[in-house]
Amino acid sequence: MKTVSESFEYKIYASSDEMSKADADLMAQAIVQLDNAYAPYSQFHVGAAVRLVDGSVYIGSNQENASYPLCMCGERVALYNAGANKPNVAVESLAITIKNQKMSIDKPVSPCGACRQVISEYENRHQHRIRILLKSDGPEVYELNSVADILPLGFNGTFL
C-alpha cells in the first residue's frame, strides 16, 4: 500500500481592488446577477460570469424549482450560456459570487460537485484551464488556477 497526498495553492485577494481590472469587472458582472437569481426556497443566490478567451462575457444566476433536483446552479447557467452562444471558444475565467438572504457568509464558497464536474468538462472540451474567482459577502476573493485543484481524480470522457 502507498499513501498519496494531494494539495493545491490558491490566491486570496483582500478585495476586488487588488485584482486586475478585467477580473474585477468580471466579478462585478457576477455580483449584478445575484439580483437575477430565482431562489424562493433556499434564499441562496448565486451570480456567475464567464469570460471567454475572445473577451466576450456570458452571465448566469441560479434558478430554483420546487422539485429541488430540477434546480440549476448559477455557474452552470453561465457556462451553458457561453457554450450555447460560442461553442468553439474556450472559457478563460469564471467568476462566482453568493449571497444567502438568511445569513451573512464572509468567506467565498466553492462550486458544488455537479458544477465542478461541468467546469471540468469545459476544461477538457477545449483543453484549456479555467481560472475560478470566488466571492461572498466579505471583501476577499479567492482565485483558483483550475477546477482540477478542487476536483482531484475527476471523471472525464477518456474513461468512456
Rg (CA), the chain: 16
Burial category of 121 from C-beta neighbours within 10 Å (exposed 0-12, middle 13-18, buried 19 and up): middle
Q: Is residue 134 part of a domain?
A: yes
pLDDT in tens, the chain (160 residues): 999 998 999 999 999 999 999 999 999 999 999 999 999 999 999 999 999 999 999 999 999 999 999 999 999 999 999 999 999 999 999 999 999 999 999 999 999 999 999 999 999 999 999 999 999 999 999 999 999 999 999 998 889 9
Q: Domain holding 138: CATH number?
A: 3.40.140.10
pLDDT at 158 (0 to 100): 87
Q: Is residue 5 part of a domain?
A: no
Catalytic residues: 75
User: Cell 488556477 sits at which residue?
Assistant: 145
Q: Is residue 155 part of a domain?
A: no
Q: Is residue 1 part of a domain?
A: no
Q: How far apart are CA 47 and CA 32, in angstroms?
A: 7
Domain span holding position 84:
10-150
Q: Is residue 156 part of a domain?
A: no
For the chain, what is the domain count? Answer: 1
Q: Is residue 107 part of a domain?
A: yes
Q: Is residue 70 part of a domain?
A: yes
Q: Is residue 2 part of a domain?
A: no
